[in-house]
Homo-oligomer: A and B are copies of this chain.
Amino acid sequence: MKARVTVTLKHGVLDPQGKAIQGALKSLGFAGVDDVRQGKLIELELATADRAEAQAQLTDMCEKLLANTVIENYRIELI
């Protein structure tokens, strides 16, 4: 089963990357762009075909490795 995990910075945590991208878009002439935030996307293939099991496994992976839960939130999608 394919899965997709997106990891984003928690609200209120400084996002220097997002800030730099916003500045660059502005200087390239894109107007009205706001609130740019950069996150991570991790795609993976799981052996299991059981959705509940996959979900549990992915949550565990996020907590243990994929996300830094001190400053990041994560979201899991099964595809």
Contact = CB atoms under 8 A, between A and B. Distances in A.
Interface of A: 6-8, 18, 21-22, 24-25, 28, 30-48, 57, 60-61, 64-66
A25 to B, nearest CB: 6
A55 B49 CA distance: 35
B40 A38 contact: yes
- Ordered nearest first, which 9 A-B pairs have the shortest CB separation? A32-B47, A39-B41, A35-B45, A34-B45, A36-B44, A41-B41, A37-B43, A6-B41, A38-B42
A34 B43 contact: no
Nearest to A22: B44
A28 B63 CA distance: 12
